[in-house]
Structure 1
Amino acid sequence: MTIFGSARVSPATNLYQDAEQIGAELAKLGFTVMTGGGPRIMDAANKEAYEMGGYSVGCNIVLPVEQKPNPYLHKWIYIPYFFVRKVILIKYSYAFVVMPGGIGTLDELFEALTLVQNKIINSFPIVIYDSKYHKELWHHIQMMSKNESKTPEEMKMLFVTDSVEDLIEHIKKYSIKKVGLKKEPYKSKW
């Protein structure tokens, strides 16, 4: 399960706490929580997955500032190119959670949408978290659908919510049940 989000959100915010809760709930379901491996939203999701006994992975981009592996990763890799990072974050996931973020987060969202639209990856759920933050983006995506740039089937895989509980239920329905995933306990190789 990949969680995309900002490297700049303060740990004192509700958004950071929501990312922690999402990481914890996904770990309880048996998912490996994968992020960009950096600070803030990524750190929050990895931390709670790690502390819940789940597996936590980071795909760290090599940047001159901000981006170093957070301390809650069982495994991480350094990647020098954004496009390679996106491939890895998308290829090994059964659903995507898009938290508030910047241009990089939007790039990751639209990469996932493009790959689903062109049937390069399975039609896994894409959850956009925080309707207020993403209000204009969601409006634009709906306008694209009305203008037939996105099909009704593609729109079904997008889900916008402000509720961690609803996010988890959506993932259960459209990822776990749809693909027949079974929970297996994480077993450390160390």
Structure 2
Amino acid sequence: MTTREYRKGATTLRGDRVPGTTTDARLLDNAESSDWLHTDPWRVLRIQSEFVEGFGALAELGPAISVFGSARTPVDSPYYALGEQVGRLIAEAGYAVITGGGPGAMEAANKGAMAAGGTSVGLGIELPFENGLNPYVDLGVNFRYFFARKTMFVKYAEGYVVLPGGFGTLDELFEAITLVQTQKVTSFPVVLLGSDFWTPMIDWLRGSLLAHGMISEADVERLHVVDDPREAVDLIVSSNDERRAAAGRPE
């Protein structure tokens, strides 16, 4: 039995899946519905465009440190003050500051970086409850897709400073640690700022995950918990200086 075969790019279609018209015909048909804008193949192009846009905007950024923390951190919170301090210190150390571009702790870090005359980057995300980039971002890129945005945080940063935050902050933190654990990235220091907030989580990692053999001691030790913003920045800067020296590159 011979089955009609139809090739559509890299895809082979047979039987009832063979379309009645060609791709070109559907493209040129001005009566066609706009539903094609919401199909998965079209989304792939949008995803591709987000990567291209992000790479193009950040390729010449230079050394940078990503700062994470809650969008819900109020301006009068001590964590907001920590964010401002760490943003300023990162800029003074010669690094750009990359945040999610939103309010709260992200805004604080961007504000500190801008006040110090540094480069203040915001990688925004389309959300139903946030209103664009904060006013302290001087280089902003907006994304539809979390995974494209996350790639930029890791690709263009030489370390993370993580302020207290919720699910989004934890997501970014554990993704970074997983990438280090699986050797997808190397020499990627992660500093948790605020021991009162982070110590219970470290205790849980040791008492539960480590105790059951699900992670190693080295995994826990990759997380540096500090209270002093300067110590946080110095840890990342010294780690990167050591990495460059080991690679024979200038600091």
Query: What TM-score does the superposition give when structure 2 sets the normalisation length?
Result: 0.68
The structure whose residues are more often helix, as a share, is 2
Q: How does 1:170-189 map to 2 (within 5 A)?
A: 170-180=235-245
Which amino acid letter does the alignment assign opposite residue 162 of structure 1?
A: D
Q: Give the deviation of 1:38 after TM superposition.
A: 0.6
Which amino acid letter does the alignment assign opposite residue 175 of structure 1?
A: N
| 2:221 aligns with one of 156, 167, 177 | 156
Q: Give the deviation of 1:149 after TM superposition.
A: 2.8
| 1:30 aligns with one of 76, 87, 94 | 94
Instruction: Indicate the structure whose relative CO is greater, using CA pairs within 8 Å and at least 6 residues apart.
Output: 1
SS in 1 for 2:71: coil
Maintained 8 Å contact 2:158/2:189? yes
In the alignment, what sits opposite 1:115?
179
In the alignment, what sits opposite 1:188?
none
Maintained 8 Å contact 1:123/1:157? no
Kindly indicate whether residue 201 of structure 2 is the aligned counterpart of residue 140 of structure 1: no
| Unmatched tracts of structure 1, length 5 or more | 184-190
Q: Give the deviation of 1:132 after TM superposition.
A: 1.3
| Unmatched tracts of structure 2, length 5 or more | 1-64
Instruction: Quote the sequence identity (%).
Output: 38
Maintained 8 Å contact 1:60/1:67? no
Maintained 8 Å contact 2:190/2:223? yes
Q: Give the deviation of 1:90 after TM superposition.
A: 1.3
Q: Give the deviation of 1:147 after TM superposition.
A: 3.5
Maintained 8 Å contact 2:98/2:122? yes
Maintained 8 Å contact 1:34/1:89? yes
Q: Distance in 2 between matches of 1:21 and 1:182?
A: 27
Q: Give the deviation of 1:115 after TM superposition.
A: 0.3
SS in 2 for 1:134: helix
RMSD of Structure 2 on Structure 1 (CA):
1.7
Kindly indicate whether residue 167 of structure 2 is the aligned counterpart of residue 87 of structure 1: no
Q: How does 1:63-78 map to 2 (within 5 A)?
A: 63-78=127-142
Maintained 8 Å contact 1:39/1:68? no
In the alignment, what sits opposite 1:165?
230
